[in-house]
Structure 1
């Protein structure tokens, strides 16, 4: 059963810049540990859905940064590598990637599966919002991106799983919301349970929506 969840951005920038956002993420991660879960699992978007052991390694060397965490050959995709570096020690109990283009139903089923991993499960969800929020954004500016991104922020703040479950994959793809699938895994894990949500911080310094949030059951 899901008892706590945190949302943090999967960008290396949170490790190098944006100290306020990094601090908010670490506050959220500390709260997950304080919930004393039987299993703490990290979920993040990637090119393909997969599972990795908690001790798995990830590196940012392909992105020009000499930062590595974990043991063995680096295998974690970017979103999970950023999470591993944010978390420090101890390592989580496991990592799950979800394909960026995974259908909403597939995300829901994965979330339900993860919530059933123990009596007390906590999720660290690495997900960002739209990358079409301004002229400096990676994607082309879209006037509908702001309201869509605000909707995600409100859902995180309210602990509203139904709003995350209702995110439209087609619209998310058009607005470069790469975190859509991971957020819908969170929605599947939460199910119909009520959570107290807190949006610790929201920012879009480079035209990409970044969030730090916490859900407590």
Structure 2
């Protein structure tokens, strides 16, 4: 049964070592993500599942201890899912070949020091249909007596002309609808997000949010929106559901 959820964005820039000189620009976002993870810890889960967008073949389940790397972003930093800390990227075991997708590597970084419960990961294909997202969420919610979710995903990447997806007039309205759904823990609104529109405005969080919708259906959780901004023209949201 789902007892709590936290929603966070997943830009690698959340990790200060990746952001370097721009790191202070996202301090408020990092603080909000820390508060959201605190919501999860307070729920005393039996299992925490981190869910994030992933491209094939990096979708599917990831056990505790799976390694994530930020080397592709120019930083020799590694994390492990459910581990207490970070490691130097040159010291990882050579036989650990399957890496976390970037979204779950950021989740592992947010969870450094987590000791409240076992941790697993789930990479969700960005093209996964809404009904399959909902089914995956229901399976996750049924996987332990008390389940918490850390749901990673960005909003539209088309809020300004300098955004990764350039300017799309639909992006602001899409993000506003997501923010309202997260604030109200509105599972029906999240489940009803249009995959084609999400793809058009380059919102990578659509599938993970719909996994959350499936997991939370009938759980009676309330929501609180902790952060809503669009730095760099990308919609970022942080929310806690309990």
TM-score, structure 2 as length reference: 0.86
CA–CA separation in structure 2 for the residues paired with 1:43 and 1:114: 10
Q: Structure 1 runs of 4+ off > 6 angstroms?
A: none
The yes-or-no answer on 1:87 pairing with 2:97 is no
CA–CA separation in structure 1 for the residues paired with 2:114 and 2:67: 13
Deviation per CA, 1:146-203, whole angstroms, max 9, x where unpaired?
0110110111111111110000001111110111000000001011332210110111
2:143 aligns with: 117
CA–CA separation in structure 2 for the residues paired with 1:209 and 1:99: 20
* SS in structure 2 of the partner of residue 206 of structure 1: helix
* SS in structure 2 of the partner of residue 200 of structure 1: strand
1:54 aligns with: 64
CA–CA separation in structure 2 for the residues paired with 1:137 and 1:93: 33
The yes-or-no answer on 1:76 pairing with 2:86 is no
TM-superposed deviation, 1:55:
1.1
Q: Quick check: which has more Rg, 1 or 2?
A: 2
For the 8 Å contact 1:126–1:182, the answer to whether it is kept is: yes
CA–CA separation in structure 2 for the residues paired with 1:39 and 1:170: 33
Please tell me the root mean square deviation across aligned C-alpha atoms, in Å: 1.3
For the 8 Å contact 1:160–1:195, the answer to whether it is kept is: no
For the 8 Å contact 2:3–2:219, the answer to whether it is kept is: no
Equivalent in 202, 213, 216 of residue 239 of structure 2: 213
TM-score, structure 1 as length reference: 0.96
Unaligned runs of 5+ in 1: none
CA–CA separation in structure 1 for the residues paired with 2:110 and 2:3: 21
2:74 aligns with: 64
1:20 aligns with: 28
For the 8 Å contact 2:2–2:141, the answer to whether it is kept is: yes
Unaligned runs of 5+ in 2: 17-22, 81-91
> 1:120-139, aligned counterparts within 5 Å?
120-139=146-165
CA–CA separation in structure 2 for the residues paired with 1:90 and 1:178: 25
The yes-or-no answer on 1:4 pairing with 2:4 is yes
> 1:98-113, aligned counterparts within 5 Å?
98-113=124-139
CA–CA separation in structure 2 for the residues paired with 1:40 and 1:5: 9
For the 8 Å contact 2:227–2:237, the answer to whether it is kept is: yes
TM-superposed deviation, 1:89:
2.0
The yes-or-no answer on 1:162 pairing with 2:184 is no
Greater shift, 74-83 or 180-189, is seen at 74-83
